[in-house]
Amino acid sequence: MRVIVVGAGQVGSTIAASLCEEHEVVVVDLDEDRVEALTFELDVLAVQGDGASLETLRETDIEGADMLIASTDDDETNIVTCGTAKTVGDPFTIARVKTTKYLDTWEHAEGALGVDFMVGTNLLTAKTAAQVIGLPAARDVDTFAGGRVQMAEFEVPEGSPLCGQTVQEADRFDSLTFAAIIRDHEVVIPTGATTIAGGDEVVVIGSNGSVQAMAAEVAPHADTTSDVLIVGGSDVGFQVAKLLERRGLHPRLIERDPERARDLAERLPDTTVLESDATDRDFLEREHIDEVDAVVAALDSDEMNLLASLLAKRLGASRAVAVVDDGDYVPLFEEVGVDVAVNPREATAEEITRFTRERYAENVAVIEDDRAEVLELEIDSDSVLAGRPIRESVADLPEGVVIGAITRGEAFVIPRGETVVEVGDSVVVFVDTEVLEDATAKL
C-alpha cells in the first residue's frame, strides 16, 4: 500500500514510523530541516512542500496512492488537503482535526469534505481520559446510538454476589441484555440457565442507567467512580464532561473564565460548572475534593495540569488523570504522582495507525482480543430482522449473534422475543468473530 502522510510533526512521524515497515510511505512537510531529518531517520520518501497544494501532492504521485493521512497541526489545512487529494486521485483520506465542530459535521454526513475518516483529537483525548475513570469493575466501556446505548465488559470478581447465580437470576434490569460470557478466553452465548462463575467476564448491552446499576451489582463494595471533578473547561474538558454525562454521571467542572463557564453550564445540563481557580485551596476544600473519586486535569497548559492534579491528590482525591500536550512529559508526570497522563498526539497517532491496520468501521467495539465484536447497524429492508419479531429472525442468524439493544429515533427499545424490529431502527449487536461475515451479510 502506498501511503502519503502530510505533516511530519509528532503525530505524522509516529504514524510514518509505524507504517513504513510494511508499506510504502511518503511524508510531506513544509519544514525543510524536518524533511531532511526524516529522510535519514526513517525508510520513507520525504518531500518538502505544502500538502494542501496540488503541485506538491502531484510530486508525491497522489494518483497512485492508496491512502492519504493529513496530520498537520492545522484543522483546515488537513481538511483541504484531503479534499484536494480527492480531486486528482482516489486515496482513502484520513484527516486529523482538533476542534469537535468539524467532527460533528463529518459524523453527520460521513465522507463529507472529501474526508473518508476523521479523527477528532480532542474527542479522542476525552474518550481516553473518560475510559480510564470508567466504571469500577468494567474493563471496557463503549457507547452507541449517540450515547443512548452502552456496552460494558465486566470482570466478575470472586466473591461477587453474581457468582453462582444463573443469568436469569442476575438479569434483574429491565433494559439490559446479557450478550456474552467470556470464560477462559472462550465466548459463551448465555442462556437463562447459564451460571456465572468468579473470573468470568460478562458483556452487557443496555441503557446507561441499567449498565450503571449492573456495575454496582457486580462489585457492590468497590469504590464506585461517580464523583468526578474536571479541571479546566477546554474543549477536552467539555468533551470529558459530555461523555460522563452520557454515562449517567454528574461530574463537576471548574473553569476560571466567567463567560466560558456560563457557556459550558448552558451546554452541559448534568454537570455542575464551578467558576473558580483550580489552585485555590480553600475552594477545593469547600467543594470536598477529598471525597472525589477522580480528577481530570484538562487545562490549557501542561504545567497547570500537573499542579492541579498534584494538589487534588494531596487534598485527598483518589485518582488523577492529566492531559499532557508534550509527549516527553508523560513518564515524568506519571512518576511524580499523576495516575494517568493522556497525550493527545500519542492517542491520535495510535488511533490512526490502528485504523490503517484494521480499517475497522465506525462504532465497533472489539471484545477480548478480537474474539467478538459489538457493532451498531441501521436496519434496512434487506435485513433478516426487518419487520419480524426477534424470536423468528434469530432462527435465520448464525449462533453467536445477540441483539443487545434497539433504538428507534430517540427511544430506547428493549429487545425481547416478541419485539418487532422496524426498518430504520438502530440495532446494537454482539457478534462472535467466527460468524462475523455471515452475520453482517444477513443483518
Residues making contact with another protein (CB under 8 A): 254-255, 258, 261-262, 264-266, 269, 272-276, 283, 287
Q: Nearer to another protein by C-beta: 275 or 334?
A: 275
Which CB, 283 or 355, lies closer to another protein? 283
Smallest distance from another protein to CB 37, Å: 47
- Please, what is the minimum distance in Å from the beta carbon of residue 265 to another protein? 4
Q: How far is the CB of 278 from another protein (least distance, A)?
A: 11
Angstrom distances, CA of residue 417 to CA of 191, 208, 328, 366, 388: 13, 22, 54, 26, 10
**Is the CB of 55 or the CB of 266 nearer to another protein?**
266
| Residue closer to another protein (CB basis): 50 or 280 | 280
Instruction: Give how far the C-alpha of residue 86 lies from the chain's centroid of Cα atoms, to the nearest Å.
Output: 27
Instruction: Identify which of residues 242 and 345 has a Cβ nearer to another protein in the complex.
Output: 242
When the beta carbons of 296 and 443 are compared against another protein, the nearer one is: 296
- CA dist., res. 346 & res. 264, Å (int): 27
In the complex, the smallest distance separating the C-beta of residue 111 from another protein, rounded to whole angstroms, is 30
- Cβ closest to another protein, residue 269 vs residue 417: 269
411-413 and 401-408 strand pairing: antiparallel
Residues 352, 330 contacting (CB under 8 angstroms): no
Helix H or strand E encompassing 14 = helix 10-19
Query: Judged by CB, which is closer to another protein: 168, or 276?
Result: 276
Least CB distance from residue 407 to another protein, whole Å? 17
CB of 376 to another protein, least distance (A): 25
What cell does 354 get?
A: 490502528
d(CA 423, CA 385): 9
CB of 413 to another protein, least distance (A): 17
- Minimum distance between the CB of residue 258 and another protein, rounded to whole angstroms? 8
